[in-house]
Structure 1
Amino acid sequence: MSDKHSPIIIVGGGAWGLSTALHLNASGHTNVTVFERAQTIPSPYSAAYDLNKIVRPEYEDPFYTDLALIQEAIEGWKTPLFGPYFHQTGYLVTTTGAAPPKATRHLHEALATIQHHPVFKSKITPLAGRDQFRDFAWQFTGPLSGFSGYFNRLAGYAHSSDALHGAWLHLASVGVKFILGESAGKATEVLYETLPSSSHLRVVGIRTADGKVHQAKTTIVAMGAHAASLVPSLGKFAMARCWSVAHVQLTKSECDLLRGIPTTNVRDLGFFFEPDPETRLFKLCPLGAGFTNNQQGLSLPPSERLPAPQDFIPAEDERKLRRLLQEVFPWMANRPFVDQKLCWFADTIDSNFCIDFVPDTHKSLIILSGDSGHGFKMMPIVGKWVTELLAKGKQDEERWQWRTVDTRGEDWAKAVSWRIGSTRELKDLISEKKRLESARL
């Protein structure tokens, strides 16, 4: 794309949309507008609307390890723009003695990609048993039954909502335009025109909920789990999926007690972070295959009309988190969970991203999707890949190309190692919630 003054529309003000705006602006594009249906950023429609996300480089696929580490994703978190939100607490990864083989295998395969990596030679410490884990986290007072894993000094977490807010403020200050709100900022339709003397289509912009038409030479859809509502063909290979999130409200002294603990991932139960000092919330997430919301052949986050559970997580996930707390922080194991929710993201069967032109749109429509629960850590560099895509006019990385295969009928839980267990449907969770509520009456 040689004309850097041509209008570019980005639909979605989440981590990847903002990163794209950052890199487009830095590379000299002068006419970039971000549309976001929320009234402000961070947007509650973004998967990054959260206290924190893990920032780590270990993957079973060395390709992503190198992206996270060698291609400066982690270094990007140490820049003045992103640095205030990055906390290099280290990363404890383990399984319990009762872990299924799939969880243990995943840990060892992820470790294998980094323990001999030249950057990591002195940064990885294998651990086995309670005493060795307590050398790195003396606050872990539970039994840590059969814990076996490692500590990675290079990793940690980022405060995701604050990172979105900081990027928004910066972008607004350098001339990137934002149109926000359920009326003016919500894209309801991608607009096409037929090219002269051909049957090919080209995207010429979007229509928003207020009925206005906004024209652009390039339209970039970065709506995460919601993207298939605007580009339905995406839903054949990128599925909206959610995980549970829960928090424990701590006192000031409890928050201070856990300050600085490593980000910890118990592969067969769940993961947690040091508590947020401002809210004193301690966040936990169970691990599993996740939950989908299939509606007329597509999985999408629930609309406002769907009676989705509020302040609720599935009973099976609560049991995992109670076990996790019993193993690590027994004093917290029976505390009430607050701010429970389902966090939606866009998942692909192989957990690979999609960063590509939509076919048959004359290179006028780009999709950023398939974060698959691990895309936030790439926020500092995702936009770089988009500017390269625009410059080259094609996606050379096969992993990130648009898929023509329909994977909706396949068993996604078996496709990659981090999905442990079976996928369930949101409607089943709603029924489960109603049964629980009826039982309490």
Structure 2
Amino acid sequence: MARKNSSVLILGGGAWGLSTALHMINSGYHDITVVERAEQIPSQYSAAWDLNKIVRAEYEDPFYTELALDAIEGWKTPLFGPYYHQTGYVVAATGRAPPKAIHHLEKALSSISSHPTFAPEIRQLNGPEDFKNHTWQYTGPLTGFKGYFNRIAGYAHSADALRGIWEHCANKGVKFILGESAGKVVELLYGDETSDAGNAAFASSSTGSGPQAGQGQGRCIGAKTADGRDHLADLTICALGAHGASLIPSLGNFVVARCWSVAHVQLTEAESDYLRGIPTTNVRDLGFFFEPDPKTRLFKLCPLGTGYTNTGKDGISLPPGEVLPPPQDYIPLEDEQKLRQLLRETFPWMAERAFVEQKLCWFADTADSEYCIDFVPGTKQSLVVLSGDSGHGFKMMPSFGKWVLDLLGNKEQRLSRWQWRNTDSRGKDWSTSVSWRIGTPREVGDLVKAKSMMIKARL
């Protein structure tokens, strides 16, 4: 078990890594180092490197509803409050929505309509006029729209939250090592059962390459970075999101790196002011958007779908590296079409505007959308993995580190849903089995080929 005087190495300065550092430093740990590949935080390698993320508590599973409510209280504290905007949350489906989208909307509403916290704060919207009476800025036809408004929800400015918590942790004594050389972890270091961080002679520089690499190799005593330095620690915490299986390949047996499209429209100052305060809006069969960012006047939109993977020959999906660069300032045509339709229904005056700062946002996905917060088997409680955000992890940032402390205090993960999975689901696509995902799964390699063909056709 890690003691308060233990040296702790956290790999990854994203939402979960920073939350863990925050709660550990607040609970009395004083020797904490965060290693992050980016030159600064917010990191472009984090899924939270973004304008904003939805903060809501509608879950089909009441377990996560209560966790999200607790996290929302955390967003209202002085530390996190500057990044939280309780604009409310509109959830809808169009008249052309497939049954799956309508079913999910109905389940989301039923999950909160009888909850004592939510019940007084929900308004059902039964047609276009209801939506327009509630949010006067909707000027599109809202064809067949039905849904509801939930006041206890909104969004958080994710990149700003990362920056703010990073600065807070650094001021409290957490050490940060940043940069493509000094902060890029290339392998984990292992020793035998008797070794520890203070005895580097037992260190092994190999993480192995088999399907179970990262398990049963003895105590993890730290990590090696691209500059050749060994960073030794009593406890190593891997919080690398979609990149985690690059260091712990067996994690890739049940966690898949998946991505979704993100796009923005550049608004004028007047247009941004016009849309200020609109509720975060999620149209289940098309996509979602937020009020414009007041600093950049960017209006962010995301299409809904099953996402895209990047599966290698070993069956493990990881974000593309140097061999297969991700498409730059580009989203797939089918995603663009969804967003154009979303704008035609809500803000038709914006529907033909150019999309800017387009990208693919990577996250770590599990078949049941459950997190993994556990010790890696065979490492003598010296290596913890935090993974499986499954597209709903950022909202938990104020609370997440508490759950890591629970793991350390209990010396085991007592919640079966967050335990390490001794399963191998490589080659099995579960994206369409998730209740709110609609569409056909595809590989990033197909997107690259499609973009290349499109460019050639224009020449």
Query: Scaled by the length of structure 1, what TM-score is found?
Result: 0.98
Distance 2:43 2:325 in 1: 21
Residue in structure 1 matching 2:317, options 285, 299, 307: 299
Q: Is the 8 A contact 2:306 2:432 kept in 1?
A: no
Distance 2:411 2:83 in 1: 33
CA deviations over 1:336-394 (Å, ceiling 9, x no partner): 10001000000111111111111111111100000011100000000000011001001
SS of the equivalent of 1:118 reads: coil
Q: 1:230 to 1:175 in 2, by over 3 A?
A: same
Q: Is the 8 A contact 2:2 2:235 kept in 1?
A: no
Q: Which residue is equivalent to 1:223?
A: 240
Distance 1:159 1:270 in 2: 19
Counterpart residue identity of residue 179, structure 1: I
Q: Which residue is equivalent to 1:79?
A: 77
Q: Which runs of 5+ in 1 are unaligned?
A: none
Q: Which moved more, 1:401-410 or 1:5-14?
A: 401-410
Shift of 1:307: 3.2
CA deviations over 1:182-229 (Å, ceiling 9, x no partner): 1111111111112149x8611111111111111111100000111110
Q: Is the 8 A contact 1:200 1:362 kept in 2?
A: no
1:348 aligns with 2:346: no
Q: Which residue is equivalent to 1:270?
A: 287
Q: Which residue is equivalent to 1:40?
A: 40
1:395-434 alignment, distance < 5 Å: 395-434=413-452
1:236-385 alignment, distance < 5 Å: 236-296=253-313, 297-385=315-403
Q: Which residue is equivalent to 2:51?
A: 51
SS of the equivalent of 1:240 reads: strand
Q: Which residue is equivalent to 1:206?
A: 223
Distance 2:325 2:185 in 1: 23
Query: Scaled by the length of structure 2, what TM-score is found?
Result: 0.94
Counterpart residue identity of residue 288, structure 2: F
CA deviations over 1:303-332 (Å, ceiling 9, x no partner): 033232100000000000000000000100
SS of the equivalent of 2:220 reads: strand
Q: Which residue is equivalent to 2:212?
A: none
Counterpart residue identity of residue 326, structure 2: A
1:146-185 alignment, distance < 5 Å: 146-185=144-183
Counterpart residue identity of residue 65, structure 2: T
Distance 2:439 2:291 in 1: 27
Q: Which runs of 5+ in 2 are unaligned?
A: 196-215
1:95 aligns with 2:96: no
Q: Which residue is equivalent to 1:106?
A: 104
Distance 1:396 1:151 in 2: 36
Distance 1:181 1:21 in 2: 19
Q: Which residue is equivalent to 1:439?
A: 457
Distance 2:291 2:426 in 1: 37
Distance 1:282 1:330 in 2: 14
Percent identity, aligned pairs only, is: 66
Shift of 1:15: 0.2
Counterpart residue identity of residue 17, structure 2: G
Q: Is the 8 A contact 2:432 2:441 kept in 1?
A: no
Distance 1:208 1:307 in 2: 22
Q: Which residue is equivalent to 2:407?
A: 389
Distance 1:300 1:101 in 2: 32
Q: Which residue is equivalent to 2:141?
A: 143
Q: Is the 8 A contact 1:225 1:344 kept in 2?
A: yes
Counterpart residue identity of residue 423, structure 1: P
Backbone CA RMSD of aligned residues: 1.1
Distance 2:103 2:246 in 1: 36
Counterpart residue identity of residue 134, structure 1: K
CA deviations over 1:249-273 (Å, ceiling 9, x no partner): 0000000000000000000000000
Distance 1:136 1:427 in 2: 43
Q: Is the 8 A contact 2:222 2:232 kept in 1?
A: yes
1:110-121 alignment, distance < 5 Å: 110-121=108-119
Shift of 1:422: 1.5
Counterpart residue identity of residue 326, structure 1: R
Q: Which residue is equivalent to 2:201?
A: none
Counterpart residue identity of residue 359, structure 1: P
Q: 1:2 to 1:230 in 2, by over 3 A?
A: closer
Distance 1:311 1:410 in 2: 30
Counterpart residue identity of residue 216, structure 1: A
SS of the equivalent of 1:276 reads: coil
Shift of 1:407: 1.6
Corresponding pairs, count: 438
SS of the equivalent of 2:90 reads: strand
